[in-house]
Structure 1
């Protein structure tokens, strides 16, 4: 099974996290990492498993790097039934209600098109002492148990 990791970032943290998740999963799976700005919505494939790594920007919005991807998703409105994905979000709890909203928006937009979110929604909090890459690698280690054990 191929794992496609898509990241949306404002300052580059999500890219580093995506690379860490890729390193964690690459031993057992064919893994590719793409910036959402470089990935065409038409290339979403239900035979692949998708990992979304997304930061939160401004007042709880998608980062600039993820906007074109999700704008295209809305414009083309593909049927994503059968597509499975997991989300690791980045945020800061000092922002209250908008904490980690970027990852939540990404998940909502994909499920609105028929995709299925699996596993625990990872939520890194920049206000903690935990490094995002470390938390993401721990989160990714749980994915094979939750997702790939029942892979097609």
Structure 2
């Protein structure tokens, strides 16, 4: 199974986190990393596992780097049944819209039939935890989920 990591960013932090997650997941699966602004929604493949890294911008909106991707999803309304994804959000709890960008992204994918797997990670820019440290820990958990899924498929369960 291939793992496609898509990021939506305003300042570049989500891209950095996507690369960090890729480094962890690459020990267990083939990974590729794309900005959402360079990825065509027609390329979403249910046979791949997707990891979405998304920041929050402005008044709780999607970042500029993700807007076109989700506009295309809204316009095309593809059936994403069978597509599995994990979500890593970036935000700051000093705002009422903490991590709202990743909530918007997850909700849109789920509305089209995709299934979120694992914990929706939510980094808080006001915490003392560095985003890369949270990403490494979270990605290790996601890799374990993927390994369990792969074992289930091989054993026929």
Q: Quick check: TM above 0.5?
A: yes
Between Structure 1 and Structure 2, how many residues are aligned?
Answer: 151
What displacement does 1:74 show? 0.6
**TM-score of the pair, normalised by structure 2:** 0.94
- For residues 88-127 of structure 1, the aligned pairs below 5 Å read 88-96=88-96, 98-127=97-126
What displacement does 1:57 show? 0.3
Bigger Cα displacement from structure 2, 142-151 vs 40-49: 142-151
What displacement does 1:52 show? 0.2
Unaligned runs of 5+ in 2: none
Partners of 1:118 and 1:147 within 8 A in 2: no
2: CA distance, partners of 1:10 / 1:144: 27
Q: List 4+ stretches of structure 1 deviating above 4 A.
A: none
The change in CA–CA distance for 1:111 and 1:13 in structure 2 (over 3 A counts) is: same
Partners of 1:119 and 1:147 within 8 A in 2: no
2: CA distance, partners of 1:69 / 1:21: 21
1:43 has 2:43 as partner? yes
Alpha-carbon deviations, 1:56-81, whole Å to 9, x = none? 00010000000000000110110000
SS at match of 1:15: helix
SS at match of 2:65: coil
1: CA distance, partners of 2:147 / 2:61: 30
**TM-score of the pair, normalised by structure 1:** 0.97
2: CA distance, partners of 1:105 / 1:9: 14
- For residues 1-152 of structure 1, the aligned pairs below 5 Å read 1-96=1-96, 98-151=97-150, 152=153
Alpha-carbon deviations, 1:102-127, whole Å to 9, x = none? 11100000000000001000000000
2: CA distance, partners of 1:21 / 1:57: 21
What displacement does 1:101 show? 0.4
Alpha-carbon deviations, 1:20-65, whole Å to 9, x = none? 0000000110000000000000000000000000000001000000
SS at match of 1:95: coil
